């Protein structure tokens, strides 16, 4: 049937409003118009501007207008990075909810977490970490979120990030924090386990860096926390030397005046641990313990019962014989010996405690000397050395350093005052100190770091007449002016073991039998030990054992 002209007019009049309505309801066009009303164009530039301004209500219109939430500008920045750097918490949450990638990095290698941390926005940082941001990321200049927050003095961000940081990351953050000198940041990092003796590539400690920059409050905080005022950098300069050279005489005087330092709770804990370690080293009593999977915590066995326990702890006939020999050797020694049963270690299928948890849980354990001690295990899964972590590292603050050794005479320099070197020999007292020279030894070794260069490591052994403690000072060891020692422990050990260079200890386990180990070196980052049978060398670090 043909429509009449009036009928066509009527039909068009009915359909035209519908066509107009469909065109006006196009979501993309409507979003563009809405953005225009809000003063924006549907561009990546304006999306990022809106995010930085905290205008989270406009974000849905940018998305409806066809822009990806992770769209980038010419510098690789996204809306999330911009909002994070501006501290716009609600906007950050909205952007993340829209599917933004928290791990996207810009052309400088920075992500949203780095951007927020640099500006000190701890709540934004917390939000980003809860959504999967990478706290270990470093930008192209080597800054991590923790280190840049530490450098800029943002203590709240530092507190948040340091709780999950690796030991190396904590050390790096402490060193950079020392440049700006924020005492609260430094104290936070030390409380989380940063090594106060960590060094920069130039051999500078945090105390040296703060002293060189004239940061008196940072210097005071570090000294209260047992920083070594007599440590030397690669150029032989102490913190006091560096402060004086930089014109900071007040800081120099502070460093050389211990009665002005004051105390801190952490510093007192460290001092107590150092005293325990010193006393254990002086006693030189060997200890024998068996690491068992099922045992009663703290149960101690001696005499014939200890021998039965050692034998029962081993699975194979060869290991039983080896362990009996080790036990017999220990029982013949003049120093007392105990065999301790300890708490079970988790099965290898379990996650087990982290290194930081092991260190934290070990704080209440007694400190004993590792030299001459024997550690048995009941299974290959509990390898005595491989289960160890570095619990702490200490430098005994000694105001003396070896300048030169010639025959049986040595030149000694006082580090606590401006004096010339003294020439001393065995039996003489170092002027102005309680230290008596016991031994002087000339010695050279081939340096691995120096590509075979012979290094003078001549030694001077001194004894403190006031407390009987002995110390070994080594010449030409970069940065070392003081005697050093470390404390090792493991999750399934009843003790903390204090070690010094040259210490020898014994282990036994079913798959290895008896092994003797020697401590080659004590470093801030770990204890280097060598298996005397295989000559394998490993480093017991804060995160566990690392092969050399």
Domains, the chain, ranges and CATH? 25-143 (1.25.40.20), 161-262 (1.25.40.20), 272-393+485-547 (no CATH), 398-481 (no CATH)
pLDDT band at 355 (very low <50, low <70, confident <90, very high): confident
Range with the poorest average pLDDT among 195-204, 223-232, 290-299, 452-461 = 290-299
For 92-138, write each residue's pLDDT tens digit.
Answer: 999 999 999 999 999 999 999 999 999 999 999 999 999 999 999 99
For range 355-371, the mean pLDDT? 91
Whether the pLDDT of residue 395 is over 50: the answer is yes
Return the SS3 of 501.
Answer: coil
Pairing of strands 454-456, 444-446: antiparallel
What is the model's pLDDT at position 68? 95
Four-CA torsion 203, 530, 277, 310, nearest 10 degrees: 160
pLDDT top residue among 336 and 426? 426
What is the model's pLDDT at position 213? 97
Whether the pLDDT of residue 447 is over 70: the answer is no
What is the model's pLDDT at position 481? 54
What is the model's pLDDT at position 443? 81
Whether the pLDDT of residue 210 is over 60: the answer is yes
One-character DSSP codes across 279-290? HHHHH----EEE
Cβ-proximal residues to 97 (8 Å cutoff; 6+ apart), any chain: none
Instruction: Supply the mean pLDDT for the chain.
Output: 84
Whether the pLDDT of residue 345 is over 50: the answer is no
pLDDT band at 248 (very low <50, low <70, confident <90, very high): very high
Whether the pLDDT of residue 330 is over 50: the answer is no
Query: What is d(CA 170, CA 319) in angstroms, rounded to the nearest whole number?
Result: 42
Range with the poorest average pLDDT among 228-232, 274-278, 340-344, 481-485 = 340-344
For range 9-15, the mean pLDDT? 44
What is the share, in percent, of the chain residues with pLDDT greater than 70? 81
What is the model's pLDDT at position 323? 36
For range 166-172, the mean pLDDT? 94
Report in angstroms the alpha-carbon separations of 235 from 22, 204, 388, 482, 506.
79, 10, 34, 16, 39
One-character DSSP codes across 155-210? HHHHHHHHTT--HHHHHHHHHHHHHHT-HHHHHHHHHTT--TT---TTS--HHHHH
One-character DSSP codes across 22-46? HHHT-HHHHHHHHHHHTT--SSHHH
Report in angstroms the alpha-carbon separations of 391 from 194, 359, 361.
12, 5, 10
Whether the pLDDT of residue 390 is over 50: the answer is yes
Q: Are 171 and 205 in contact (CB under 8 A)?
A: no
pLDDT top residue among 427 and 303? 427
Report in angstroms the alpha-carbon separations of 29 from 34, 51, 58.
9, 21, 15
What is the model's pLDDT at position 92? 97
Q: Are 71 and 44 in contact (CB under 8 A)?
A: yes
Burial of 34 (0-12, 13-18, 19+ CB in 10 A): middle
pLDDT band at 351 (very low <50, low <70, confident <90, very high): low
What is the model's pLDDT at position 468? 85
For 283-312, write each residue's pLDDT tens digit.
Answer: 877 899 998 664 443 443 333 433 433 343
Given phi > 0 = left and psi -120 to 50 = alpha, else beta, which region is 232? Answer: beta
pLDDT top residue among 149 and 446? 149
What is the model's pLDDT at position 483? 75
Rounded to the nearest angstrom, the gap between the alpha carbon of residue 40 and the centroid of all alpha carbons in its chain is 47
For residue 525, what is the enclosing H or E element? none
Q: Are 94 and 57 in contact (CB under 8 A)?
A: no
Whether the pLDDT of residue 66 is over 90: the answer is yes
Whether the pLDDT of residue 341 is over 60: the answer is no
Query: What is d(CA 438, CA 46) in angstroms, rounded to the nearest whole number?
Result: 76
Range with the poorest average pLDDT among 46-60, 81-95, 399-413 = 399-413
């Amino acid at each position: 049937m043909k429509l009449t002209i009036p009928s066509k007019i009527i039909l068009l009049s009915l359909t035209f409003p519908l066509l107009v309505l469909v065109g006006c309801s196009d979501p993309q066009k409507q979003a563009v118009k809405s953005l225009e009303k809000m003063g924006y164009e549907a561009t990546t530039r304006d999306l990022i501007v809106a995010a930085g301004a905290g205008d989270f209500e406009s974000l849905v219109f940018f998305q409806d207008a066809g822009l990806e939430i992770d769209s980038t500008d010419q510098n690789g920045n996204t809306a999330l990075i911009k909002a994070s750097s501006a501290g716009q918490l609600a906007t950050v949450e909205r952007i993340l909810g829209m599917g933004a990638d928290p791990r996207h990095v810009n052309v400088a290698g920075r992500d949203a977490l780095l951007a927020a941390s640099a500006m000190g926005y701890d709540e934004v940082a917390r939000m980003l970490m809860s959504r999967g941001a990478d706290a270990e990321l470093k930008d192209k200049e080597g800054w991590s979120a923790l280190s840049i927050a530490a450098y800029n003095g943002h203590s709240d961000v530092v507190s948040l990030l340091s709780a999950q940081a690796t030991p190396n990351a904590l050390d790096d953050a402490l060193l950079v924090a020392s440049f700006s000198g924020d005492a609260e940041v430094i104290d936070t990092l030390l409380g989380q386990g940063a090594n106060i003796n960590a060094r920069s590539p130039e051999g500078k400690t945090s105390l040296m860096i703060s002293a060189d920059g004239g940061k008196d409050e940072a210097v005071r905080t570090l000294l209260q926390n047992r920083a070594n005022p007599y440590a030397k950098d690669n150029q032989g300069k102490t913190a006091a030397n560096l402060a004086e050279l930089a014109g900071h005489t007040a800081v120099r005087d502070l460093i050389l005046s211990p009665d002005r330092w004051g105390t801190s709770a952490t510093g007192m804990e460290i001092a107590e641990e150092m005293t325990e370690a010193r006393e254990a080293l002086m006693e030189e009593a060997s200890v024998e313990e068996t690491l068992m999977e099922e045992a009663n915590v703290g149960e101690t066995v001696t005499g014939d019962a200890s021998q039965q326990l050692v034998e029962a702890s081993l699975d194979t006939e060869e290991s039983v014989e080896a362990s009996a020999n080790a036990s017999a050797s220990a029982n013949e020694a003049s120093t007392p010996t105990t065999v301790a049963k300890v708490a079970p270690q988790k099965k290898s299928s379990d996650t087990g405690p982290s290194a930081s948890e092991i260190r934290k849980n070990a704080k209440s354990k007694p400190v004993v000397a590792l030299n001459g001690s024997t550690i048995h295990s009941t299974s290959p899964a509990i390898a005595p050395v491989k289960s160890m972590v570095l619990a702490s590292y200490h430098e005994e603050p000694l105001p003396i350093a070896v300048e030169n050794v010639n025959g049986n005479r040595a030149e000694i320099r006082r580090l606590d005052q401006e004096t010339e070197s003294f020439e001393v020999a065995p039996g003489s007292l170092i002027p102005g100190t309680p230290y008596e020279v016991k031994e002087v030894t000339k010695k050279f070794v081939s340096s691995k770091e120096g590509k075979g260069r012979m290094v003078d490591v001549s030694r001077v052994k001194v004894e403190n007449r006031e407390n009987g403690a002995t110390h070994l000072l080594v010449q030409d060891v970069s940065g070392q002016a003081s005697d050093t020692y470390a404390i090792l422990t493991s999750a399934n050990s009843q003790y903390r073991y204090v070690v010094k260079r040259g210490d020898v200890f014994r282990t036994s386990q079913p798959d290895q039998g008896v092994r003797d180990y020697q401590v080659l070196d004590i470093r801030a980052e770990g204890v280097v030990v060598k298996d005397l049978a295989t000559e394998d060398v490993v480093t017991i670090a804060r995160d566990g054992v690392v092969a050399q």
